Amino acid sequence: MLGNLLKIILFIGLVANFAGCAVLQKDAGSQEPPGAVSKEVGAYFYYTQSYLMKKQGDLSSAIELLGKAIARDRDSIYLKTELARLYVQHSDYKQAIEIVREIVKKRPEHVPSMTMLGDIYAAQGKHAKAIESYQKVLALESKSERLYLLLGSEYVKSKNPEKALDTYKNLTEINPESFPGYFHLGVVAVSLKRYELAEGAFLECLKLKPGYEQVLFKLLEVYEALEKDKKVLDTYNKILDNNPRSIKAAIGLGHYYLKTGETADAEKVFEKLKKRSRSNPLVIKQIALIYLDQKRYKEAVETLRQLLEDDSSKSDIYYFLGMALEGIKQIDEAISAYENVGGMSSYHQSALVHLSFLYQEKGDSNKAIELMNQAIEKQPQDPGSYLFLGALYEEMGSYEEAIDTLKTGLQFQSDHVRLHFRLGVIYDKAGYKNASISEMKQVIEIDPSHAEALNYLGYTYADLGKNLDEAEILIKKAMKYKPNDGYIIDSLGWVYYKQGLFDKALEFLEKASKLVSDDPTVLEHLGDAYQKINAPRKALKYYNKALENKESDKEPLERKIESIEKQLDQDI
């Protein structure tokens, strides 16, 4: 009985409130409370019940009851607007749009409905339609701050920052006291790297709200981009003067000192912060990550170990400690740290990858492969893991396993350029030339500007002595993207060699040998070209250089050297 009584009291109170609002709403000229037109009490009743259901979170019942209210007061724009809002809350945008369009058809200048139409389009991600709707409303209410802000936001979302900038500028011209107008103007100006404009906008914000911390942090972005060191430091100090316990400002100041080489000042800031935040491990962790980012591995190790003294069960701390130890080449200690990263940690898969790499560094390829397979099992869709596992097999000369690994990776991401490229390289090493050519073509199809694949395919054709005109086109295209790459220049020289254009070949092969002076293949190509123009002494010079740098398969080159030496002896 008490529950029903409360509902009756609430109902009477709400009706009284709505009745009291009737005059105010009519004066507003855009909304009428239920009953302002119709005198039927039934509309009040269903509206009130709908309101109660909405408060309780039962939107379906609220919509149904509000529909009954409208059935008793069909001319009420207010009730229909409220129903549209309920549909929006219920994510039923189709019904909401139908209602709003019906209202706008009857009342073309009904601002709340026209604005809501823009809001619905915005919620659906239909930015062009939202912009169109807001522009129509602005034609009616040209000084509405909210509409300018909504319009500017839609321009930003639709990746049209210049239009957003103009919108926020218009707002600040219409209303020079608009704090959000200046703030968003500054934010968009930063995104466009128009830092002077951004600085002016944020300074206007500070005139309206002196010392406002969020604006001061935005100004820091501007001053750092403009490399105004004094203003950066002044702004950090201003924030800390206003709020001495601002952890964000203290961390930022320390980070800035590190970036600018003021190590002693950074240490002072961080030591003070660490003492103050001894009970706040997140702050100390943030300092450690800054050290890690700045490659100050020793300081990172010390800070992370301090954290582990308080809580030795933190998997993520062990992960970052492993990275820091890896940075100072303490391999065994790094391995120990990574092995402490638990299986439930979000860093576990990354720790396995690092462990695999470190065991490979130690020469234990089998352990490295075992760990990388565990990493893949943990996260089977990570292309990087397949690339690294493929590289492990490739280094061991296990080309078939490498091929299978990379092909498995491509099952998850069929257009992954690096997987296709490495697969092409390994096919070539395994003696599958046609398969290698096919993979390189696939890479170029996915990424026509992939200089390495263009060069690889062109060089392969040249080495096989076929499609030489196409090989020249491919390699010249690669040179457009990497004009000073010695290996690409060598490939073009080798194409000319294969075409019998030996003088032209020498021009490019000489240039390539200067860029990559220790590559045995480039040096051997240059020797071959000199041999073709009957310059045996120069050929011998480059063959010997090539032999000095060659680690395996030396016999063919030794035979060339032996042949020239015999030729020179005979000439004597």
What is the Cα–Cα distance from 311 to 413, expressed in whole angstroms? 40
- Residue pointed to by tokens 């549909």: 87
Q: How many beta carbons lie within 10 A of that of residue 35, not counting itself?
A: 23
288-298: average pLDDT: 89
In the chain, helix, strand, coil percent, each to 5? Answer: 80, 0, 20
Given a contact cutoff of 8 angstroms between Cβ atoms, the answer to whether 116 and 30 are in contact is no
295-304: average pLDDT: 91
Supply the pLDDT for residue 26. Answer: 33
pLDDT at position 101 over 90: no
pLDDT at position 432 over 90: yes
Rounded to the nearest integer, the mean pLDDT of the chain is: 88
Q: Closest Cα partner for 47 from 26, 24, 23, 17?
A: 17
- Percent over 70 (pLDDT), the chain: 92
What is the Cα–Cα distance from 149 to 168, expressed in whole angstroms? 7
Give the model's confidence band at 90: pLDDT under 50 very low, under 70 low, under 90 confident, else very high. Answer: confident
Given a contact cutoff of 8 angstroms between Cβ atoms, the answer to whether 225 and 234 are in contact is no
Alpha-helical segments (H) within 329-446: 331-339, 348-361, 365-378, 383-396, 399-412, 417-429, 433-446
291 vs 472, which has greater pLDDT?
472
516 vs 37, which has greater pLDDT?
516
User: Looking at this protein, which amino acid is placed at residue 115?
Assistant: T
Supply the pLDDT for residue 572. Answer: 57
User: Looking at this protein, which amino acid is placed at residue 406?
Assistant: L
Q: Write the pLDDT tens digit of every residue in 281-291.
A: 888 888 888 88
Q: Write the pLDDT tens digit of every residue in 310-355.
A: 776 788 899 999 999 999 999 999 999 999 999 888 899 999 999 9
Q: Write the pLDDT tens digit of every residue in 475-487.
A: 999 999 999 999 9
Q: Write the pLDDT tens digit of every residue in 391-428.
A: 999 999 999 999 999 999 999 999 999 999 999 999 99
Supply the pLDDT for residue 570. Answer: 75
Supply the pLDDT for residue 280. Answer: 77
Q: How many beta carbons lie within 10 A of that of residue 309, not counting itself?
A: 7
Q: Write the pLDDT tens digit of every residue in 157-205.
A: 999 999 999 999 999 999 999 999 999 999 999 999 999 999 999 999 9
241-255: average pLDDT: 88
pLDDT at position 15 over 50: no
What are 119's two structure tokens? 């809001």
Instruction: Please state the pTM of the whole predicted model.
Output: 0.61
pLDDT at position 41 over 80: no
Give the model's confidence band at 37: pLDDT under 50 very low, under 70 low, under 90 confident, else very high. Answer: very low
Q: Write the pLDDT tens digit of every residue in 479-514.
A: 999 999 999 999 999 999 999 999 999 999 999 999
Strongest mean pLDDT among 76-90, 262-276, 534-548: 534-548
Strongest mean pLDDT among 116-120, 271-275, 500-504: 500-504
Supply the pLDDT for residue 247. Answer: 86
Give the model's confidence band at 31: pLDDT under 50 very low, under 70 low, under 90 confident, else very high. Answer: very low
Given a contact cutoff of 8 angstroms between Cβ atoms, the answer to whether 292 and 283 are in contact is no
User: Looking at this protein, which amino acid is placed at residue 93?
Assistant: Y
- Residue pointed to by tokens 């943990």: 378
